Structure 1
Amino acid sequence: MEWKGRRQSDNIEDQRGASPGGGNPFGRGGGFRMPGGGGGMRRAGGGMSFGTIIFLVVLYFILKAMGIDMLQVLEGGGGQVQMPGFEQSDGSPAPRGSAQEEEMKQFMATVLAETEDTWNGIFQANGQQYEEPKMVLFRGQVRSACGFASAASGPFYCPGDRKVYLDMSFFDELAQKFDAAGDFAQAYVVAHEVGHHVQNLIGVLPKFNQMRQSMSETEANQMSVRVELQADCFAGVWGKYTQQKGLLEQGDLEEALNAATQIGDDTLQKRMQGYVVPESFNHGTSEQRMRWFKRGFDSGKMTACDTFSGAA
């Protein structure tokens, strides 16, 4: 995919250095409650020795030379202490990873920008306004409005805060464990999660979350498959617009289709347990995921993505 030198989205929240703290176990659609806590900092009783005072003064100036002002930290009521020199989307310091990870961050910001261009245009053509989602980059663990998540959860979209969450180590696993390497395979994953955001805006996700409260597990899984396949189709719609811009390189489409194949429910279950349990499918088979992505890609139209009418 030809992406270098193109616009990068400002809707990136870099939480790779943040501590997630406590929270409820992660669950899509679940709530998240901030843990209760005590009040502010207490002053210790008693005095300090002259030696202790000298030590603290020396420590203060050492930290000051490193760019950390402990007076500001104390006045801020115990906020995070971050090393200077790096920049987050909100202008505050953020940790840097390897050169490869930093390039991946730039790629993710570019892909997100391309989805913004696509969906802004589609919504405007239909007389609507597109609300751009945020993308949260994290390492290991993260808090969201849907609960507490780890890297094992994989990329996900949270309707509660309208954000896409991504631990970039997932793409190493995608390439090494699932044999789905390539930048457009990675772009497909992002576009799929943005597809869920589109579903949230047009009312598909709220309706599904309401309906599944009265469904059996099997029924909810069957409906979940249709929701996921529509997100695949929306990712294909984005892919069509990307192709029309001349950004696709030879083999890009095949990378996305291969990724859709490798993460189908049947393929994953065969790889992990040696057999399939169709009633437990909640994302769609490899054939379904590939077919619906291709349908969106071939048509470039949202109307081609009705996965709820007829057979999926």
Structure 2
Amino acid sequence: MDWKGRRQSDNIEDRRGTSSRGGNPFGRGGMRLPSGGIRRSGLSFKTILIIGVIYLVLKFMGIDPLQMLGGDPGTVITGQPSGPGSQISETRKDEMTQFVATVLAETEDVWNGIMKSQGFDYPEPTLVLFSGAVASACGNASSASGPFYCPGDQKVYIDLAFFDELAQRFKASGDFAQAYVLAHEVGHHVQNLIGVLPEFNRMRRSMSQSEQNQMSIRVELQADCFAGIWGHYTAQKGLLERGDLEEALNAAEQIGDDTLQRRTQGYVVPESFNHGTSAQRQEWFARGFETGRLDACDTFNNPV
């Protein structure tokens, strides 16, 4: 990815070097979405989830979807858990900081443009850099939990050591693989803005664990698709280099539920999946990448 020399986002909060109690707010399986506290959106789940149409519908109804911001401080959307954080050199740390600040800036440009085209502002998320452990509005987390998005404070959290983990443990190297991870978490921010996350949290209170897992998969695959949309416009700018798309698709494959379970325990338990299989994650990222359209990312009204 041709990223050097481009604008870097100012929405960076560097908490590295500060201490915080660790923990895992995601629970077993790498993800937890606690119930309680999220207000209702006032719209049906089906209406909210028809992405691309929802903006116009809400506009005609006189409803601002940005009023659905905030959510439950205890709600966390995350990628996949990682192992213990590794140490990285100061030189590499500086370069990685510049990289994520640039990728975040690129996501801001894309989503500001998309939201503006629909007549709405895009409240930009903050990227929190931490090492070891961090406190968020969603609770405490350790590096082992992996990158995550907290709708309670509209922030994306990442220990940059995860990128080394991504390459070494998950066999997903390359800067565009790293960019995909960050764009996926920003995709959750977009979901929060348009009401998907608040509505999911409301509905999950009456769901069984199996039903929650199935709905969680659709939420995660949509975030993958939104990451693909960002990739689509990044490619249009001419910033992608040979092999970049393959890096992202490989990352999607390596962090699929089936691939992770097969690697860690030697067998898969499909009913416990909550992010999607490798094939599903690749497919939905590719849909966003190929089309660049929000309506192509409707994982809730289409087979996944």
TM over 0.5: yes
What does 1:205-216 align with in structure 2 at a 5 Å threshold?
A: 205-216=197-208
What does 1:49-128 align with in structure 2 at a 5 Å threshold?
A: 98-128=90-120
From 285, 291, 295, the equivalent of 2:277 is 285
What does 1:24-43 align with in structure 2 at a 5 Å threshold?
A: 26-27=25-26, 28-30=32-34
Task: Give 3-state SS (helix, strand or coil) of 1:249's partner.
Answer: coil
How many residues are paired up? 247
Relative distance call for 1:226 and 1:174 in structure 2 (3 A) is: same
- Please tell me the residue identity of whatever aligns with 1:143: A
Q: Which deviations, in whole Å up to 9, do the C-alpha atoms of 1:39-96 show, x marking residues without a partner?
A: xxxxxxxxxxxxxxxxxxxxxxxxxxxxxxxxxxxxxxxxxxxxxxxxxxxxxxxxx9
Q: Is the 2:24–2:145 Cα contact (8 Å) retained in structure 1?
A: no
Instruction: Mark the runs of 5 or more structure 2 residues left unpaired by the alignment.
Output: 27-31, 36-87
Q: Give the structure 2 partner of residue 61 of structure 1.
A: none
Q: Which deviations, in whole Å up to 9, do the C-alpha atoms of 1:14-34 show, x marking residues without a partner?
A: 000111148x75244459xxx
Q: Is the 1:26–1:149 Cα contact (8 Å) retained in structure 2?
A: yes
Partner Cα distance (2:302, 2:271) in 1: 18
Q: Which deviations, in whole Å up to 9, do the C-alpha atoms of 1:264-286 show, x marking residues without a partner?
A: 00000000001100000000000
* 4+ aligned runs moved over 6 Å, structure 1: none
Q: Give the structure 2 partner of residue 252 of structure 1.
A: 244
Higher relative contact order structure (alpha carbons within 8 Å, sequence separation ≥ 6): 2
From 228, 241, 264, the equivalent of 2:233 is 241
Q: Which deviations, in whole Å up to 9, do the C-alpha atoms of 1:150-187 show, x marking residues without a partner?
A: 00100000011010000111111100011100000000
Partner Cα distance (1:30, 1:165) in 2: 18
Partner Cα distance (1:159, 1:97) in 2: 31
Task: Give 3-state SS (helix, strand or coil) of 2:301's partner.
Answer: coil
Q: Higher Cα Rg: structure 1 or 2?
A: 1
Q: Give the structure 2 partner of residue 191 of structure 1.
A: 183
Q: Is the 2:21–2:133 Cα contact (8 Å) retained in structure 1?
A: no
Q: Is the 1:145–1:158 Cα contact (8 Å) retained in structure 2?
A: yes
- Please tell me the residue identity of whatever aligns with 1:8: Q
1:310, distance to aligned residue in structure 2 (A) = 2.9
Q: Give the structure 1 partner of residue 20 of structure 2.
A: 20
Partner Cα distance (2:299, 2:142) in 1: 30
- Please tell me the residue identity of whatever aligns with 2:14: D
Q: Is the 1:30–1:147 Cα contact (8 Å) retained in structure 2?
A: no
Relative distance call for 1:171 and 1:141 in structure 2 (3 A) is: same
- Please tell me the residue identity of whatever aligns with 2:25: F
Relative distance call for 1:250 and 1:237 in structure 2 (3 A) is: same
Q: Which deviations, in whole Å up to 9, do the C-alpha atoms of 1:220-250 show, x marking residues without a partner?
A: 0000000000000000000000000000000
TM value normalised by structure 2: 0.79
Task: Give 3-state SS (helix, strand or coil) of 1:198's partner.
Answer: helix
Q: Is the 1:29–1:146 Cα contact (8 Å) retained in structure 2?
A: no
Partner Cα distance (1:160, 1:254) in 2: 34
Partner Cα distance (2:155, 2:3) in 1: 23
Q: Is the 1:30–1:146 Cα contact (8 Å) retained in structure 2?
A: no
Percent identity between the two aligned chains? 71
Instruction: Mark the runs of 5 or more structure 1 residues left unpaired by the alignment.
Output: 32-95
Q: Give the structure 1 partner of residue 10 of structure 2.
A: 10
TM value normalised by structure 1: 0.77
Partner Cα distance (2:94, 2:189) in 1: 25
Q: Is the 1:136–1:164 Cα contact (8 Å) retained in structure 2?
A: yes
